[in-house]
Structure 1
Amino acid sequence: MHGQSVVVELQETVQSSRPRSSHVVVVLGDPVDALDISRIGQTLADYDANIDTIRGISDYPVTGLELKVTVPDVSPGGGEAMRKALAALTSELNVDIAIERSGLLRRSKRLVCFDCDSTLITGEVIEMLAAHAGKEAEVAAVTERAMRGELDFEESLRERVKALAGLDASVIDEVAAAIELTPGARTTIRTLNRMGYQTAVVSGGFIQVLEGLAEELELDYVRANTLEIVDGKLTGNVTGKIVDRAAKAEFLREFAADSGLKMYQTVAVGDGANDIDMLSAAGLGVAFNAKPALKEIADTSVNHPFLDEVLHIMGISRDEIDLADQEDGTFHRVPLTNA
């Protein structure tokens, strides 16, 4: 090693005076204007939180912004008062606001489980079946009471299914063909599948109606009730274990275990009291245009009719979604109308 010299210089490590952002706040609305951001910024300031960066994450079907925030008290429950104050702003400003701890924990979600009726799809399957029996109003009234938590779900389900006795089983195929997905549902499931997430649906509805849809969407797991059919007719009974509030949470745990995941890696999305246990058990519980009983326990709420807001809450941007769609030829945007 002749003729060579080595010089070693010691440099001081420069440390940023700014702490790493502790939380991420996602703001979604149609529109999100300067006043909204001002009010949110003031609320954060009231709790000595600082906005470190802001980036746009969506321009369609709603405007979405992601704020990286430093919160002084990051102990468990330390930001609860701030979280409640932000939640109170959602109805006042007509925007959706979600706040999560930043870092790897947020990025660790790998399983997303959806309720079906009024979440993944726009209607209630049992009411669609009841319409064929001329019992739509009767069944809808019981459904509404059950969703508000006023009735035991299993009892209400059995009561509603009795009204279907005698219907020809071909009605199931007619209803399955008439199902309408919630706006953004197809994009949401396609994006999650593309990114390697496990996707699931658990429903207080009926497996005979949903299994074709689950196959079409390439869902990894589907659980629902089973209508009893004898001699080509609905008997007015269901067979097997009822998919009620407790069962939904049990299925979420089953899906996570089967996928080799911890519960903090799960996301659950639902709209009614029957989803309370499932959202409580998940790492992130999202109330989708939900009843008050569910909003009270959910980590965050979506109050616009687009399921792809769930992707943005998880930190997946519209640009990322669109780029992947363009690459495989599925990109299109449905024109939005102002109701």
Structure 2
Amino acid sequence: MSLPHVSGTRLPLHPSAPLTPSAFSLPRAPSPLRTRPRDSAASGSMDEAVSATAAVSRPRALDVAATHLVATLFYKSDAPSHAHPHADASPHSPRDFLPEASLNSLRDAVPTENMSDYPLEPPTPGPNPLDHLYGSYVSQSCLTDFSVTLTNIIPGLADETITSRKLEASHFCRVVEVKFPLPSAASVTLETLRRDEVVSRFEREWNVEVVFQLDTVYRRYKRLAVFDMDSTLIQQEVIDEIASLIGVKPQVADITAAAMNGELDFEASLRKRCALLKGVPSSVWETLKPRITLNEGVLALIKALKRLGFKTAVLSGGFTPMTGWMAQQLGLDYAFANHLVVSEDGQTLTGELTGDIVHAEKKRQHVFDIAAKEDIPLEQVLVVGDGANDLPMMRVAGLGVAFHAKPKVQMQAPARLNTKSMLDILYLFGISKEEQEKSMFSRSAFNFLKTARLVVQNATQPQLTAPIALFSSKMSALPVVVCGKNPAVAAAVKQSLLPGYEVIHIITSVNQGTTDIPLILTGNQPPDNADNQGTKNYINIPVAVLTGGGYDDQSFDTMKAACKDVKAVPWFRPDLSRVNEMPHFTQAEAFGKATAERCKVALKEVLEDGKGKAEGREGVWFY
């Protein structure tokens, strides 16, 4: 289903705009006839379409001025890099004998024996890695050097105005956030900061990556996350996997090379690749699915984003069967990809495409459309990709991240990240490691959303008629597990907990509880069970386990002990001292409704307010 076309959409601050406080003041509602700055990677027709008279107005952004910048420093490896000092600068003790230089000694040390291919002089010395001297983390020496770097390249910046915050509690912190004010006379840009040779040298010396951002309220509070699929969400390129499967990998490689050389544009190369799929069984997708693996941290990131109220989307230049399947597996809200035509009997692929091609400009338009449909300003959009066709949508988002991208893409993207886990993207929002661990559970998520609304109310200008929520007021139902031996009562509890809580799994025996609950609490799908009346939506880890009166102390302890090695969530038991306040358990529907009401009160007290009637053991509460 296509989304409504959105025009009159304004780009965020252009990366080459001078970094002055006035430049950071985001305009209020844009004029319907205002045109957007031209994106060098986008076609003119797309610019004209988006800058035409607005059919649907863009969600209004807050009038917020940024007076500070934030630099997030990531240590790039768990192991220190190795120093490779220049030969002329290498110290040697008297006992270190240098080998005698000769052509014969060089024969095995260089990739050629042709004298004309030998370099005429040694390469110039590069920066020597310092992390192996000061520690394989963002050390204080590293931070001191970064402060010196900033004061050298930003006129008027005083060292004493630069502050830092560790985003990991460990002494050997891998991620640090550095905040500094923007002098009014400064004329640097985000792009020039990122590409500055002094910054680049600092990154290489300390084995770190630096991401610069405006320190506005939008940096921390995003609402929409958009991902490319191939080599971003997943480790594979689907078209290459198909080519390998059907024996046409060399032909696909030739087409790819032609596209890289500029001989074919994206659409032409895609159609040529698809033509090679003619006659391939339509069941090829089922064969491919077991080969697909997620990139590290993807599942944890999606879970955390959904817990924080994000809408999520995947925009792929691949094909709908795989993209739709991946979106379903991850619980994403939107999925767009290319449609391959299937033969009339449904048995084979025709090698043809139908519908709109999801190329770079189409991806960008989808970002506009989804943001408009969800009433989300572009400043609150995160885009993650790895290819050149992802750059246009990265540039229109509040934060565009090239994740393990091609070198050229990393140079042109608003931000780049090459750490081991995609979950590290949360650090770019200023979310610490401790907050990340809690973001899977609702108390932290509730507090995060409350803080977001409070920040917005404080940041909203008086002339605006009403505060604009950074997060949607409609929160997703929080997932819980229910343990009840009476199916009729459990069904009534499930229905009555809505809309605030979603019963994703119902346990009906102790044995089932000891097997299923540990799996569910680690994000894994338990064995299918006909007695399970839950929604089976296991993409989100439950925020609590609710047990009924049919489970005595021993049964309860057995199930909870089975979960001792997984992430702790609150467990709730009925307060038997209040049993006289309840309908008789033989009245299943009434008893279930009353139980659900008591559960909702207890859940709110514990998850939102941080209080409740504790049983006496850590993590166990009464309802």
User: Normalising by the residue count of structure 1, what TM-score does the alignment of the two structures yield?
Assistant: 0.83
Q: Distance in 2 between matches of 1:192 and 1:148?
A: 38
Distance (whole Å) between structure 1 residues aligned to residue 352 and residue 195 of structure 2 = 43
Partner of 1:314: 429
Give the superposition deviation at 1:87.
Answer: 5.0
Using CA pairs below 8 Å that are at least 6 residues apart, which structure has the higher relative contact order?
1
Does residue 26 (structure 1) correspond to residue 136 (structure 2)? The answer is: no
Structure 1 residue matching 2:419: 3-state secondary structure: coil
Equivalent residue in structure 2 for 1:142, among 255, 278, 303: 255
Shift of 1:173: 1.1
Superposed CA RMSD in Å reads: 2.7
Alpha carbons 1:133, 1:163 under 8 Å: kept: no
Q: Which residue of 1 aligns with 2:164?
A: 54
Change (3 A) 1:147 1:72: farther
Q: Which residue of 142, 151, 156 corresponds with 2:269?
A: 156
How many angstroms apart in 1 are the aligned matches of 2:385 and 2:329? 21
Are 2:349 and 1:234 aligned?
Answer: yes
CA distance in 1 between counterparts of 2:72 and 2:439 reads 22
Identity of matched residues, %? 35
Which residue in 2 is equivalent to 1:208?
Answer: 321
User: What is residue 44 of structure 1 aligned with on the other side?
Assistant: 150
- Cα shift at 1:147: 6.2
SS in 2 for 1:181: coil
> Does the C-alpha gap of structure 1 residues 319 and 168 become closer, same or farther in structure 2, counting only changes over 3 Å?
same
Query: 1:222 & 1:79 partners in 2: Cα distance?
Result: 31
- Indicate the residue corresponding to 1:72 in structure 2: 183
Aligned equivalent of 1:296? 411
In 2, the alpha carbon distance for the partners of 1:163 and 1:74 equals 58
Letter in 2 for 1:57: L
1:130 aligns to 2:243 (yes or no): yes
How much does 1:189 deviate? 0.7
Show the 5 A alignment for 1:153-302. 153-230=266-343, 231=345, 232-302=347-417
Structure 1: gaps of 5 or more residues: 1-19, 334-339
Q: Are 1:111 and 1:267, in contact at CA under 8 Å, matched by a contact in 2?
A: yes
Q: Displacement, 1:247? A: 0.4
Separation (CA, whole Å) in 2 of partners of 1:304 and 1:242: 32
Pair 286,150 (structure 1): closer, same or farther in 2 beyond 3 Å: farther
| 2:174 equivalent among 63, 68, 75 | 63
Structure 1 pair 280/93, CA: closer, same or farther in 2 (3 Å)?
A: same
For residues 18-49 of structure 1, the C-alpha deviation after alignment (integer angstroms, 9 at most, x for no partner) is xx971111111224343533332221121225
How far the C-alpha of 1:84 sits from its partner, in A, is: 2.8
Identify the structure with the greater strand proportion. 1
Q: Deviation digits for residues 49-108 of structure 1, max 9, x if unmatched?
A: 545432222479x92111122231487855554343235643454322111111313134
1:208 Cα deviation (Å)? 0.5
Give the secondary-structure state (helix, strand or coil) at the position aligned to 1:156.
helix
SS of the residue corresponding to residue 289 of structure 2 reads: helix
User: Given the superposition, is the C-alpha separation of residues 115 and 102 from structure 1 closer, same or farther in structure 2, using an over 3 Å criterion?
Assistant: same
In 2: Cα distance, 1:49 partner to 1:243 partner: 47
1:84 counterpart = 2:195: yes
List per-residue Cα deviations over 1:159-195 (Å, max 9, x = no partner). 1111111111111112123211010000111111110
Counterpart amino acid of residue 183 in structure 2: P
- Structure 2 distance, partners of 1:293, 1:313, is 22
SS in 1 for 2:336: strand
Cα distance in structure 2, aligned partners of 1:174 and 1:55: 48
Contact 1:73 1:79 survives alignment (8 Å)? no
Residue 412 of structure 2 aligns to a residue whose secondary structure is: coil
Mark the CA change 1:247 to 1:326 in structure 2 (over 3 Å): closer, same or farther. closer
* C-alpha distance after superposition, 1:213-260 (max 9, x if no partner): 211211111101111111311111121111001101001111101110
2:231 paired residue number: 118
CA contact (8 A) 2:303 2:440 kept: no
* One-letter amino acid of the counterpart of residue 151, structure 2: A
Instruction: Work out the number of aligned pairs and report it.
Output: 313
Q: 1:140 and 1:192 mapped to 2: Cα distance?
A: 36
1:259, 1:93 → 2: CA distance?
41
Matched residues in 2 for 1:309 and 1:74: separation?
33
Counterpart in the other structure of 2:522: 330
Gaps of 5+ in 2: 1-65, 78-135, 443-479, 481-520, 524-565, 568-623
Q: Distance in 2 between matches of 1:132 and 1:75?
A: 56
Distance in 2 (alpha carbons) for counterparts of 1:32 and 1:24: 19
Radius of gyration: which is bigger?
2
How much does 1:326 deviate?
7.0
| Structure 2 Cα separation of the partners of residues 52 and 159 of structure 1 | 54
Are the equivalent residues in 1 in contact too, given 2:226–2:314 (CA < 8 A)?
yes
Once structures 1 and 2 are overlaid, which stretch shifts more, 35-44 or 224-233? 35-44
